């Protein structure tokens, strides 16, 4: 069974793979060996030619644009950067104001901040496949009910054939890419993981802190693969992840949200750590599973996620949704 939402959405976890770091662009080449990119002056977007806007959000101040770059399909994501408390004095003192309206005690202005305080994040996906274009396109969403049998018969065969490559994850684990971004690592091959900022976070304030923990183990695709034998791994990620965040960012465990997505946007198990006060994309109940709950459930039932019915949202153009429809499940 499934329920439809008429809300226009793009994939909330675009984060996990492609959201940007301030003043940098990231080229996603899924089967590449990876490269640590250094900041430079080259404008890689100077030749970008817009084809169409895939989606945009005035609330989140982000736009997803499809076009051509170097004669290849590309997706460019532009996002306004957050206003930081430590820049307020300079914004107030050095900006240019143009009055729009004044009425009694209220007035509104167009404010032009100094260039270095008026930045946009830019993410470049190049070359962008048809999957990427659809991923960021405005779509209806449906809530899918997946039994354990549905997972084996429908979901697992589909993701084995259709899911994005996770070579970029292996590049991180093997230090072939983004090694300078790793903030903590436990190198143990069974219990260890790397912790690094998600590209949605510009790392300039903890209000929207967002980090990803990626285990070194490569045989765990998602929540569905977890059993009680993985409890030591999950507990290690939970405890050492919280400790590392406290040490580096001074954010205590009581202000953290640690969770897993189902369905995830890529099929290598990973844990999200976000500031509890930040409404991160994909943190809603229909997709996010708190890590503390996952641990408790596996303690109560070693095969909890192997047997239970799970619910998750899918976009209208998602091939997995088509498989559920063909199987008569919608």
For residue 143, the SS3 value is strand
Domain boundaries, the chain: 2-72+120-326, 82-117
Sign of CA dihedral 47, 50, 56, 58: positive
Q: Which residue has the tokens 């977890």?
A: 226
Q: 231-249 vs 291-300: helix axis angle to the nearest 10? A: 160
Q: Where are the beta strands (DSSP E) in the chain?
A: 2-9, 49-57, 62-69, 72-80, 96-103, 106-112, 120-125, 139-146, 184-186, 193-197, 210-215, 256-261, 271-275, 288-290, 310-315
Question: Residue 25 has what pLDDT?
Answer: 37
CB 127 within 8 A of CB 100: no
Could you give the residue numbers annotated as active site?
270
CB 111 within 8 A of CB 96: yes
Question: Residue 37 has what pLDDT?
Answer: 47
Question: Residue 41 has what pLDDT?
Answer: 56
Q: Considering only CA atoms, which of 10, 16, 314 is closest in space to residue 134?
A: 10
| C-beta neighbour count of 283 within 10 angstroms | 19
Question: Residue 222 has what pLDDT?
Answer: 96
Question: Residue 133 has what pLDDT?
Answer: 81
- Say how far apart CA 215 and CA 174 lie, in whole Å: 12
Q: Which tokens in the block code for residue 93?
A: 């003192």
Superfamily name with CATH number, domain 2-72+120-326: HIT-like (3.30.428.10)
Question: Residue 163 has what pLDDT?
Answer: 58
pLDDT in tens, the chain (330 residues): 445 443 444 444 443 433 333 333 343 333 344 444 455 557 888 889 998 888 887 777 888 899 998 888 899 988 888 888 889 999 999 999 998 888 788 888 889 998 888 888 888 888 888 878 877 777 678 999 999 999 999 999 998 887 567 899 999 999 998 999 999 999 999 999 999 999 888 888 898 999 999 999 999 999 999 999 999 999 999 999 999 999 999 999 999 999 999 999 899 999 999 999 988 888 889 999 999 999 999 999 999 999 999 999 998 878 899 999 999 887
Omega before residue 263 within 30° of 0, cis: yes
CB 145 within 8 A of CB 314: no
Question: Residue 164 has what pLDDT?
Answer: 64
Question: Residue 14 has what pLDDT?
Answer: 40
């Amino acid at each position: 069974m499934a329920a439809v939402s008429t809300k226009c959405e793009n994939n909330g976890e675009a984060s996990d793979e492609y959201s940007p770091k301030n003043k940098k662009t990231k080229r996603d080449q899924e089967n590449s060996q990876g490269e640590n990119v250094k900041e430079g002056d080259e404008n890689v977007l100077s030749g970008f030619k817009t084809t169409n806007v895939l989606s945009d959000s005035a609330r989140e101040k982000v736009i997803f644009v499809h076009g051509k770059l170097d004669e290849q399909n590309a997706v460019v994501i532009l996002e306004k950067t957050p206003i930081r408390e430590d820049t307020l004095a300079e914004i107030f003192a050095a900006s240019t104001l143009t009055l729009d309206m004044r009425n009694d005690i209220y007035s509104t202005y167009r404010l032009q901040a100094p260039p270095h305080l008026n930045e946009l994040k830019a993410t470049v996906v190049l070359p962008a496949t048809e999957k990427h274009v659809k991923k960021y396109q405005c779509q209806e969403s449906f809530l899918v009910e997946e039994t354990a049998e549905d997972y084996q018969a429908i979901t697992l065969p589909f993701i084995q054939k259709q899911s994005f490559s996770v070579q970029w994850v292996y590049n991180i684990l093997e230090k072939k890419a983004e090694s300078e971004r790793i903030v903590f690592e436990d190198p143990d091959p069974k219990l260890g993981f790397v912790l690094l900022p998600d590209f949605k976070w510009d790392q300039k304030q903890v209000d929207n802190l967002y980090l990803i923990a990626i285990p070194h183990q490569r045989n765990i695709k998602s929540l569905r693969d977890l059993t009680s034998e993985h409890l030591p791994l999950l507990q290690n990620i939970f405890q050492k992840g919280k400790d590392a965040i406290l040490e580096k960012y001074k954010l205590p465990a009581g202000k953290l949200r640690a969770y897993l997505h189902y369905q995830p946007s890529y099929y290598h198990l990973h844990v999200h750590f976000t500031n509890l006060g930040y409404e991160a994309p994909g943190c809603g109940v229909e997709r996010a599973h708190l890590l503390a709950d996952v641990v408790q459930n596996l303690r109560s039932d070693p095969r909890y996620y192997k047997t239970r019915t799970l619910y998750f949202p899918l976009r209208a153009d998602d091939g997995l949704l088509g498989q559920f429809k063909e199987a008569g499940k919608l």
